[in-house]
Amino acid sequence: MIGRPPIFCLALCSIFVGFCSYAQGQHAGHVAKLGFLSAASASAISARAGAFRQGLRELGYMEGNNILIESRHANGQVDALNALALDLVGTNPELIVTAGPTATHAAKYATAKIPIVMAADSDPVRSGAVVSLSRPGGNITGLSVVSPEIAGKRLELLKEISPNVSHVTVLGNSNVPGNAEGLRELQAAAAAMRLQLKYTEVPTLRDMEIAFQDAAKEYMQAVIVLPNPVAISQRKQVVGFAEKSRLPTAYYHPEYVQAGGLMFYGPSVTDLFRRAATFVDKLLKGANPPTCPWSSRRSSSWSSI
C-alpha cells in the first residue's frame, strides 16, 4: 500500500424525501423498535452500523433503554434479501433503516406502510426507489449519494498510479440497484480520457476470482470494483484476488482499503450512517416528511492509497 495524504472534494449530496404514510410519535417510557436491513454481512459494515448507533446516542437513544434494533443481514446473498425484509416487517418495527440500495428495494417490496430510512443509498430516483425528489411518494426518506463526477476522479487516480493505463476492467453486479448508473458514469469519464473499459458481471465470489484472472491474462492494466454486497462481504478475498493479479484496483468503499486494498475514493459513508439517526429521531417524534422540503447538502470525499 502506498502512503498518501487524503484528497478532499465536494461530491456528496444528501436528500430528505418525504412520504405520506403514518409516523408514530414518542411518549414517556416508550421503547422504540427499529429494523435494520443490510445486503452485506454485519462485519462488512460494522463501522457504518457503529456510526448509526453513535448518532442515536447523540440524540439520547440508548439500546435496551428507549430503543431496540432488530437487524437482518443477507451476508452478500442478494437473493435472500426479500425474505429477510419480510421477516423483519413481521417483527412490527416502527421504521426500517436500510444500509444500501439493494436493501432499500427489498424493504420497499416488503412494506408500503412502515417508514423506510435510507442510510446511504445511490441515486434513488434513477434506481427507482422513489418517483422524484420533489414528489417521492411512498414511504421512503433518508440520505442519498449522488456523485457522478467521482467516477472520473477514480480513473484519474488510477492513471496517476500507473500512467500507461489504457484498458480497465470494471467488475459489477447488475442485481445491485445503481450498477447500471455507475457503469454509465465510468463509461462517460473513460471516453473523455480515451480509456477502454471492459465490463464483467460478477454475481458471485467465484465469478470475481475468475474475472481478476481473466483481466491479467488479457493484459488489462487496472480494475474498478463497483458497489457489490457479495464483494464487500468477502472483501479480504477480493483484495487477495487483486494482489494475485498484480493489477491496481480502485474500490467504492473504504472497507476494502482497511482490508489491505490499494485505493478507495468516495464519500464518507460512515458519516451518512451517523446522520441517518436524525431522520429516525424526526420520524419517532411524529415528523411529517411531506411538510419538510428536501434539502441538498455537500460533504467531503477522500481517497486512500
Q: What is the pLDDT of residues 157-199, one digit of tens each?
A: 999 999 999 999 999 999 888 888 889 989 999 999 999 999 9
Question: What is the average pLDDT across 4-33?
Answer: 47
CA 201/CA 171 separation, integer angstroms: 6
Please tell me the least confidently modeled range out of 71-85, 105-119, 182-196, 279-293: 279-293
State the pLDDT at residue 288.
58
Q: What is the pLDDT of residues 112-126, one digit of tens each?
A: 999 999 998 877 777
Residue 22 has pLDDT above 80, yes or no: no
Residue 289 has pLDDT above 60, yes or no: no
Helices (H), the chain: 46-58, 81-89, 101-110, 149-161, 179-193, 205-217, 229-233, 235-245, 254-258, 269-284
Provide, rounded to the nearest whole percent, the portion of the chain with pLDDT above 90: 62
Provide, rounded to the nearest whole percent, the portion of the chain with pLDDT above 70: 82
Contact 188, 155 (CB under 8 A): no
By C-alpha distance, which of 137, 178, 115 is closest to 17?
Answer: 137
CA 251/CA 256 separation, integer angstroms: 7
Instruction: List 233's β-bridge partners, or say none.
Output: none
Instruction: Kindly give, in sequence order, each residue whose CB lies less than 8 Å from that of residue 143, ignoring residues fewer than 6 positions away.
Output: 14, 15, 16, 118, 119, 120, 121, 272, 275, 276, 279
Pick the CATH number of 11-146+268-298 from 3.40.50.1970, 3.40.50.2300, 3.40.50.450, 1.10.260.40: 3.40.50.2300
Please tell me the least confidently modeled range out of 82-91, 138-147, 204-213, 215-224: 138-147
Please tell me the least confidently modeled range out of 35-44, 56-65, 287-296: 287-296
Q: What separation in angstroms does the CA of 166 have from each of 2, 71, 296?
A: 21, 43, 36
Q: What is the pLDDT of residues 248-271, one digit of tens each?
A: 999 988 899 999 999 988 888 889
Domain boundaries, the chain: 11-146+268-298, 149-266
CA 266/CA 82 separation, integer angstroms: 28
State the pLDDT at residue 235.
94
State the pLDDT at residue 148.
65
Two domains, one topology: 11-146+268-298 and 149-266:
yes
State the pLDDT at residue 144.
80
Question: Chain-wide mean pLDDT for the chain?
Answer: 83
State the pLDDT at residue 261.
95
C-alpha cell read off for 214: 481473466
CATH number for the segment(s) 149-266: 3.40.50.2300
Phi, psi of 74 (to 5 degrees): -85, -10
Q: 106-129 in b/e burial notation, b at 16+ Cβ within 10 A?
A: bbbebbeebbbbbbbbbbbbebeb
Residue type, 78: V
Residue 105 has pLDDT above 80, yes or no: yes
Q: What is the pLDDT of residues 235-246, one digit of tens each?
A: 999 999 999 999
